Amino acid sequence: MLVLLTYDVSTETADGKKRLNRVAKKCLSYGQRVQNSVFECNIDWSKYLELQNELKAIINTEKDSLRFYNLGNNYSQKVIHIGIKPSVDFEGDLIV
């Protein structure tokens, strides 16, 4: 299923900047960055819950926020992209 993940991490302190870096690195291990604080993750339900728990352990819920948008398995008609940074076709061939 495709999950759109957005985050807002307060960077007013050095600790906040560290949290921001940790959140971004964690998100990169699950999906692709499509905007500065926005990731597309094509993951199954167990990975979805795992990602939520790992990010909840990183953020400060008093200062930061996470938003998860579950677009499901039939997402191809729900996402329209215009401009630079084309997305990865999760269903296409993988060339390494």
pLDDT tens digits, one per residue of 18-30: 999 999 999 999 9
- What is the Cα–Cα distance from 41 to 31, expressed in whole angstroms? 4
Closest CA to 61 of 18, 3, 7: 7
- β-pair partners for 2: 42, 72
Strand, coil or helix: 40: strand
pLDDT at 83: 77
pLDDT at 84: 76
CB 51, CB 66: distance < 8 Å: no
Q: Is residue 95 scored above 60 in pLDDT? A: no
Task: Report residue 39 as tokens.
Answer: 């990731």
Residue 4: CB atoms within 10 A of its CB come to 19
